[in-house]
Amino acid sequence: MYLPKKMVALAISSLFIDSAFAAENIDLAPVAVTGNPLGVGSDELVVPVSVLNGRELSLRRESTLGETLNGMPGVTATQFGPNASRPVIRGLDAERVKIMQNGIGILDASSLSFDHAVGVDPLIIEQIDVVRGPAALLYGGSAMGGVVNAIDHRIPTEKLDGIIGRAETRFGGADSTRNAAAVIDIGNGLFAIHGDVYNRKSSDLDIPGFAVSRRKNEADGTPRENKGKLVNSSAEADGGALGASLTFDKGYIGLSYSVLDSNYGVVAEEDVRIDMSSERWELASEFKDLGNIVNRVKFRMAHTDYEHKELEGIEVGTTFTNRGLEGSLELGHSNIGPVQGVLGYQFSNTNFAALGDEAFVPSVNTQNKALYLYEELPLGNGELKHKITFGGRLGHTTVDSKSSPVFGAAQNNSFNPNSFALGGLYNINQNWSLTSNLSHNERAPSYFELYANGAHIATGQFEVGNSNFDKEKSNGIDAQIRWKDADNSFSLGAYYTRFSNFIGLFDTGTIDAGSGLPIAQFSAVPASFKGLEAEGKFNIASNWDLSVRGDYVHAKDTRNNDNLPRISPLRLGAGLQYAKGAFSAKLDVLRAFKQNNTADNELATDGYTNVSAIMAYKLGGLINTGKLNIELFAKANNLLDDEIREHASFLNDIAPAGERSVLIGARADF
């Protein structure tokens, strides 16, 4: 791909620009930008939001977005091999977890099929915000389960006078990864330019034991082959971006262009690889302190051209494309009495097409339009401040299929999904606080839930949609108790969500005569999701910190009191960290228990214990100038060499996680 190579040259040459651009480091605070349009700190959010950035994100990065976040409270991953993995939040995946890039949806095909990779690479992400729980009010019905917002700063939003940047490289791991990334920003106080570039390569994943599980072998006789290696799991990817902004005292306006190319094996089919590419243009601006009525205007828009080819040898078997435009305009109003808030408008227009042997959905145009209102009412006097949050969203969605010889006549569907929420934050004292959020959420069915009708080889099913679906509706409550004292903190949360018509893919127990695959039907059933989440960080002694976490979700088809499929089991984790001077080390243990609460025709999954460790050392010398920070690190994963199979994965019985491994790397910022 020629463009990324040009970007490499640009990034390297930029490092040698005249030293007149004296480096001026900017230390970005770990503040969530997702979950509240008023820009408040994480402690003031009513909904539970986790933030990953800086050094913590750098040391946590994995090859996919799903695996980077896996293990956080409430977050698991679909884990379709080492190269395709979407986040699963509170047992909800696919369309109910909205993945965004800089606040705008990523237009790819990852929600259509679990073997389709997410169209953003963790190597260039600067911050990840994870909203756990319904966020449909602000982000649309596809955020019923939560939001993952990957922030890359490709459009500079703050004034910069000088040069800042970072570089990172790593080698090793169970997939023998070799990757590198470089990011640079240059500015003169008015004009800022951003450039980034990355490349990654990996080999077939080394695994402990056989790819096929003992349970599957005993259940249907699938032979246990390919011991020690997950065949056809290698990958190669590169990409980069250029962005520029005009920055002012009270705002900015900027544009960026990025490209991503990836080629990886499909572990469910040993002779199939996916060649994926995505080009994305983004335009963003924000202006503050504008006046007495509208005091802030924020605009974001992105155009994406995505293509995904499934290669069978040298032949193209199936091609998926998704091209579209998505954006939002947000107006912040001045206080109306004590009330502050925003009025927003969101829009999108996407065209999806699938052509070839495994095209199990027709070509579809989907359009979304919505108005939303979000308000906050502060309460209380003195140091203890409380607040009430409330808002609503009115939307309109059309999902129109095109006629074809395979899928028949064109079909048109329209929906009016509306969502409402009421929340509150109550500070008991300086250390303790309570939050709660009540929500009603509605979601328009996706194109594949409506129109699927064909063999889906990646999941081993013949999938059938239902064009007569109504919009999906749910009501939920979320509550947390939080404690914080200096650098020590703890939170415990509980949630309950009830769907009147949860749209799921259920095995019918019958076989399609043509393909020989089991038939799975998209059906709407009453369902409930309830669970617990906990997280804490404590300084237990000089230079020693302890972290704890845990989550549990229980999901039922309440029509027959049946378990829903692919629900993660109870997980408990703890980490012990030591840091003194230039040296730091952390030992982490995550215990996932056995999952016996399975759906019909679903196998149970054994528990596992994942023990990992990180050691890092900051180099001296130039680091003492304050303009260059260099850190060497080593990561050890699955130290017990346990057989790790994520129950949330479609492939948990044929594709385990990697064996015991060590990865080494270096990171630098200036």
pLDDT class for 30, splitting at 50, 70, 90?
A: low
In a domain, 46, yes or no: no
In a domain, 650, yes or no: yes
Distance, CA of 237 to chain centre: 19
Q: Which domain holds residue 309?
A: 154-669
CA dihedral (85, 91, 94, 95) positive or negative:
negative
pLDDT at 380: 82
In a domain, 475, yes or no: yes
pLDDT at 8: 38
Quick check: 613 pLDDT over 90?
A: yes
Q: Domain with 195 in it: what CATH number?
A: 2.40.170.20
Quick check: 25 pLDDT over 50?
A: no
In a domain, 285, yes or no: yes
pLDDT class for 514, splitting at 50, 70, 90?
A: confident
In a domain, 33, yes or no: no
3-state DSSP assignment of residue 265: strand
Number of domains the chain contains: 1
In a domain, 103, yes or no: no
Q: What is the 3-state secondary structure (H, E, C) of 279-294?
A: EEEEEEEEEECCCCCE
In a domain, 630, yes or no: yes
Rounded average pLDDT over 36-64: 84
Quick check: 7 pLDDT over 50?
A: no
Cβ atoms of 131 and 42 within 8 Å: the answer is: no
Backbone dihedral region of 15: left (phi > 0), alpha (psi from -120 to 50 degrees) or beta? alpha
Quick check: 626 pLDDT over 90?
A: no
Residue range 217-243, pLDDT digits in tens: 999 899 998 899 999 999 999 999 999
Comparing 205-219, 379-393, 579-593, which segment has the lowest mean pLDDT? Answer: 379-393
Question: 384 or 11: which carries more pLDDT confidence?
Answer: 384
User: pTM here?
Assistant: 0.90
Q: Number of helices (H) and strands (E) in the chain: give both, helices first.
A: 6, 35
Kindly report the average pLDDT of the chain as a whole number: 89
Question: 483 or 30: which carries more pLDDT confidence?
Answer: 483
Q: For residues 83 and 179, what is the distance between their CA atoms, to the nearest angstrom?
A: 14
Cβ atoms of 267 and 230 within 8 Å: the answer is: yes
Quick check: 622 pLDDT over 60?
A: no
Rounded average pLDDT over 641-652: 92
pLDDT at 23: 33
pLDDT at 41: 67
Comparing 526-535, 598-607, 624-633, which segment has the lowest mean pLDDT? Answer: 624-633
CA dihedral (330, 333, 339, 343) positive or negative:
negative
pLDDT at 506: 86
pLDDT at 610: 96
End-to-end Cα separation, the chain, in angstroms: 29
Place of tokens 């991503």: 260
pLDDT class for 111, splitting at 50, 70, 90?
A: confident
pLDDT at 440: 95
Quick check: 156 pLDDT over 70?
A: yes
Quick check: 351 pLDDT over 90?
A: yes
Backbone dihedral region of 392: left (phi > 0), alpha (psi from -120 to 50 degrees) or beta? beta
Residue range 273-290, pLDDT digits in tens: 999 999 999 999 999 989
Rounded average pLDDT over 243-260: 96
Quick check: 455 pLDDT over 90?
A: no
The amino acid present at 302, given as its one-letter code, is A
Find the DSSP H helices in 485-563.
none
Q: For residues 469 and 512, what is the distance between their CA atoms, to the nearest angstrom?
A: 23
Rounded average pLDDT over 70-91: 90
Find the DSSP H helices in 118-261.
136-139, 214-220
Residue 218 phi/psi, 5° resolution?
-75, -30
Degrees to nearest 5, angle at CA 551 with 548 and 552? 150
Quick check: 203 pLDDT over 90?
A: yes
Residue range 281-323, pLDDT digits in tens: 999 999 998 988 999 999 999 999 999 898 888 888 889 899 9
In a domain, 91, yes or no: no
Quick check: 20 pLDDT over 50?
A: no
- What is the residue-wise DSSP string for 131-173? EES--HHHH-GGGSSEEEEEE---S--S--EEEEEEEEEEEET
Quick check: 151 pLDDT over 80?
A: yes
Residue range 167-176, pLDDT digits in tens: 999 999 999 9
